[in-house]
Amino acid sequence: MDQHNTHDPGPADRPADRPAPCPGRDHDTWTTIDELHDWLEAETGIPPEQDLLLRMLKLSEEVGEVAQAVIGATGQNPRKGATHSWQDVEAELCDVIVTAMVALRTLTPDAATVFAGHVRRVAARPRTPLGP
């Protein structure tokens, strides 16, 4: 998510029946995702089918920003040199995660349960050695 276009719902934007998020608790993460989803739904002004597709495409934009930050952190663009820090990469990765969570929430109102089930399946996969 572009830092200039994000909206961090504050107390004035939060419905009265929802508590303020508490860092580090998954429920509060999904509460924030629900709030972001609801805000985007209210602001979009485009047909739902188009909005759904654009939310999915937003992921590509965010992944591109991760790549840009990695290139900037490693100074791999000889024309620009070092333009980013590894903290910038961290922030961009977090934007990818939030964007994916909002996209999942756009597909289903039960996004937290869908995600938790997927994480359980990934955790249950056998782990094999990586190469020789």
The region of weakest confidence among 16-30, 87-101, 103-117 is: 16-30
Over residues 8-62, the pLDDT tens digits come to 334 344 344 444 545 555 569 999 999 999 999 999 999 989 999 999 999 999 9
Q: Identify whether the C-beta of residue 110 lies closer than 8 Å to the C-beta of residue 33.
A: no
Length of the chain, please?
Answer: 132
pTM (2 decimals)?
Answer: 0.75
Tokens encoding 127? 């782990």
Tokens encoding 115? 């995600």
The region of weakest confidence among 2-11, 30-39, 95-104, 108-117 is: 2-11
